[in-house]
């Protein structure tokens, strides 16, 4: 068992940027306590995290059936973080060979070439949303998070799945509450919403990914169980929305707060692609991801753990590991492309990376091109309340050409 250090307490208002160095200082693994007293380990150092992700499923598994304390009744299965993955059959919570089978079934929808076909549609949604932002910005302060960074990935992933426009606000609300890890029952509501959507698609098939998955599921060899179908639709929604929204919001904020770095992009001294890598590293939106379990007695970063221990993947702490990144807590778009882990590593590395990159590569340059004279407005926002996801609670900006409206401007 690892030597005893005081655990890191994860409270609803945590700042992941402040938490990352604290977790790192605890060594390659840190003991953490969730609200409700649930104890876990977090893998915090870059090398230790990468090594652990490389040795699934021999040393580490995603299947919560391995969680000793849960099996022994020491943990409430209704705890929001536990309910989020316990008994869930998405590819993220399964191990090979099931993981490989399911990932292969949907992989073709996410190839770089396939995703490039979405380029015109993503560009059109970006342009449409920025039109609305410009119009609103002539009269009031705009929250770029709510009015741009949220609706963009929601629309893109919804259209990819085939979720109609009128259901997108509800899907957004349920996904955010589920991912915060703070709302009991949220995941059940989200499942009920997805079940109803699947049921509808059975009678009204379309080109979307849900209908394609139903077709696979209903084919003779039925390689996708009904539960796998539901749980993977849920994964696409939760994995595909808040992550991307977080990077867009944090990225715009970072560049507005570091005008010298933005100038390097504007003057062509640094490419957008390089700046996006640094945003992904510095403000990892998937900050602290549940969850893996030790499949047997195993060492993590040289520290022995028994079988059945739960582990959080501390991607943000690892992406600010000073042994890998010089001046790791500084935002520096001129740094050499660095081997960050923002999209994970190993067999569960992000399936949606090509789609996420497409959205970031279109959205971030477009925001700065269209809203050239924007400024941050008001007090710096605190972090959004989430135990796992990292992004600011808001991103209020004023378009400078309207700054003369000054204090009379209605706030967003
Ligand atoms: C900037 C945006 C994104 C970031 C930072 C991100 C990050 C990640 C990370 C860190 C993981 C690995 C989690 C783990 O090890 O437990 C992951 C997995 C995954 N992501 Fe993303 N993601 C993003 C966007 C997307 C999008 C747009 C989709 C589209 C649906 C998506 C779908 C997935 C899926 C399906 C997995 C599970 C893969 C597997 O288990 O084999 N992600 N993502």
Range of the domain at 33: 8-408
Q: Is the CB–ligand 1 distance for residue 236 below 6 Å?
A: yes
Q: Which of 245, 37, 53, 291 is nearest to 148 (CA)?
A: 245
For the Cβ of 57 lying below 6 angstroms from any atom of ligand 1, the answer is: no
Q: What is the CATH number of the domain that holds 322?
A: 1.10.630.10
At residue 218, the pLDDT reads 64
Answer whether residue 411 shows pLDDT above 80.
Answer: no
- Residue with the smallest CA separation from ligand 1 atom 4 is 243
> Tell me, what's the pLDDT at 222?
54
Q: Report the 10 Å Cβ neighbour count for 408.
A: 6
Higher pLDDT, 73 or 224: 73
Domain membership flag for residue 391: yes
Q: Does residue 1 lie in a domain region?
A: no
Q: Which helix (H) or strand (E) holds 61?
A: strand 60-61
> Whose Cα sits closest to atom 15 in ligand 1?
344
243 within ligand 1 shell (Cβ under 6 A): yes
Residue 97 lies in a domain: yes
Taking the whole predicted model, whether its pTM rises above 0.85 is answered as yes
Supply the pLDDT for residue 162: 92
Euclidean distance between the first and the last CA atom of the chain, given in angstroms as a whole number: 51
Domain count, the chain: 1
Determine the distance separating the centroid of ligand 1 and the alpha carbon of 237, expressed in angstroms. 10
**Mutation choice for ligand 1 from 243, 276, 282, 283, CB with most ligand atoms inside 8 A:** 243
Strands 298-300 and 303-305: antiparallel
Torsion of CA 314, 315, 319, 323, to 10 degrees: 40
Q: Is 139 inside any structural domain?
A: yes
The answer to whether residue 2 sits within a structural domain is: no
Residue 166 tokens, joined = 């009128």
Whether 169 is covered by a domain: the verdict is yes
Average pLDDT across the chain, whole number: 90
213: left (phi over 0), alpha (psi -120 to 50) or beta: alpha
Residue 402 lies in a domain: yes
The H-or-E segment that residue 116 falls in is helix 112-116
Confidence check: pLDDT of 336 > 70:
yes
331, part of any domain: yes
CA-CA-CA-CA torsion sign (135, 139, 142, 147): negative
Ligand 1 centre distance from Cα of residue 239 (Å)? 5
Substitution site in 239, 281, 292 for ligand 1 pocket (most atoms within 8 Å of beta carbon):
239
Query: Distance (Å, rounded) from C-alpha 266 to C-alpha 257?
Result: 15
């Amino acid at each position: 068992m690892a030597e005893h250090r005081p655990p890191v307490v994860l409270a609803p208002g945590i700042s992941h940027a402040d938490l990352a160095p604290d977790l790192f200082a605890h060594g390659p693994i840190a003991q953490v306590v969730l609200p409700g007293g649930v104890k876990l380990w977090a893998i915090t150092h870059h090398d230790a995290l990468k090594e652990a992700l490389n040795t699934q499923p021999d040393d580490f598994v995603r299947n919560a059936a391995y969680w000793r304390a849960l099996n022994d009744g020491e943990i409430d299965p209704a705890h929001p973080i536990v309910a989020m993955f316990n008994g869930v059959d998405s590819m993220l919570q399964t191990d090979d060979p099931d993981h490989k089978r399911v990932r292969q079934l949907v992989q073709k929808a996410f190839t770089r070439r396939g995703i490039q076909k979405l380029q015109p549609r993503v560009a059109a949604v970006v342009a449409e949303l920025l039109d609305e932002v410009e119009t609103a910005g002539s009269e009031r302060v705009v929250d770029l998070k709510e009015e741009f960074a949220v609706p963009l990935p929601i629309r893109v992933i919804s259209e990819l799945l085939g979720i109609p426009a009128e259901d997108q606000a509800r899907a957004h609300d349920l996904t955010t509450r589920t991912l915060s890890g703070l709302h009991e029952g949220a995941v059940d509501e989200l499942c009920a919403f997805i079940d109803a959507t699947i049921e509808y698609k059975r009678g009204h098939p379309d080109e979307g990914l849900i209908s394609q998955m139903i077709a696979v599921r209903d084919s003779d060899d039925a390689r996708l169980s009904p539960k796998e179908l539901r749980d993977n639709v849920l994964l696409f929604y939760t994995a595909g929305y808040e992550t991307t929204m977080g990077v867009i919001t944090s990225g715009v904020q970072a560049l507005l707060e570091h005008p010298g770095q933005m100038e390097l992009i504007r003057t062509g001294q640094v490419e957008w692609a390089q700046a996006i890598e640094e945003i992904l590293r510095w403000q990892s939106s998937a900050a602290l991801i549940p969850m893996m379990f030790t499949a047997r007695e195993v060492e993590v970063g040289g520290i022995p753990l028994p079988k059945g221990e739960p582990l959080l993947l501390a991607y943000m702490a690892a992406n600010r590991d000073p042994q890998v990144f010089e001046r790791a807590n500084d935002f520096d778009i001129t740094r050499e492309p660095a081997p960050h882990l923002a999209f994970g590593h190993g067999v569960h590395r992000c399936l949606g990376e090509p789609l996420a990159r497409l959205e970031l590569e279109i959205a971030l340059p477009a925001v700065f091109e269209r809203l050239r004279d924007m400024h941050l407005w008001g007090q710096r926002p605190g972090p959004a309340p989430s135990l796992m996801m990292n992004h600011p609670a808001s991103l209020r900006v004023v378009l400078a050409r309207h700054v003369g409206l000054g204090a009379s401007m209605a706030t967003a």
